Amino acid sequence: MVMSAIEELVPLDPSKGLAAKSKALDGTWRLLWSAGADKFSPLLGLPRGIRPESMQLLGTSATEAVGTDRVANLLALPGITARLSSGVRVADDNDALLVILPPFRFEVLLPGGAQKTLFEAGSDADFRKLNARDADAQAAGRNLYLQRYLDTSGKPGDLRVSTIVAGDPVIVGSVFVHERVA
């Protein structure tokens, strides 16, 4: 039912296929719904109520948290937040496509502002190896996120729909619906 609603929404994309380049992509986004997110983290497959809140920081929000030209994904648990960040850029040939780049950094954020880096991977293959992916997945190309729909008001409540269209075969095909919170 949700996938059907997404397919009806996508042709109405306010960004007109330019979402990856749009300033409206900048912000803090809360994951509302996904198909395949549990492949990223088993925690996202938990039932509502005990599942951690999943947020994504893009553009200025990400720059303030993890540096320029990076994206950050946060999983908030009581008293601790896990943060995975990576490089990101718009694809050379598609203004709706984000290319995910190394280095990949996994950190734990603790109360009081302390943070600890648990690992950093300098390549897609190294990151996938750390995630127990097989040789085929380690050899796959970069992860590409197609921004299929983006509300462009830049205000809380905007929606964004994205799909992983290439890269790690374990997560290709995953679909995400995010809502802007800031």
CATH number at residue 107: 2.40.128
- Between the two ends of the chain, the Cα-to-Cα distance in Å is 28
Question: Is the pLDDT reported for residue 41 higher than 80?
Answer: no
Q: Which domain holds residue 172?
A: 2-180
Q: Within 13 Å and on the Cβ side, how many CA atoms surround 166?
A: 12
CB atoms within 10 A of CB 182: 12
CA-CA distance, 78 to 141, in Å (whole number)? 35
pTM: 0.93
CA-CA distance, 176 to 34, in Å (whole number)? 4
Contact (Cβ atoms closer than 8 angstroms) between residue 36 and residue 45: no
Q: What is the pLDDT of residues 103-154, one digit of tens each?
A: 999 999 998 889 999 999 999 999 999 989 999 999 999 999 999 999 999 9
Q: What is the pLDDT of residues 65-116, one digit of tens each?
A: 999 999 999 999 888 999 999 999 999 999 999 999 999 999 999 988 899 9
Distances (CA, A) of 131 to 42, 89, 121: 12, 23, 11
Residue type, 64: E
Question: Is the pLDDT reported for residue 11 higher than 90?
Answer: yes
- Rounded to the nearest integer, the mean pLDDT of the chain is 94
Work out how many domains the chain is built from and give that number: 1
Contact (Cβ atoms closer than 8 angstroms) between residue 43 and residue 51: yes
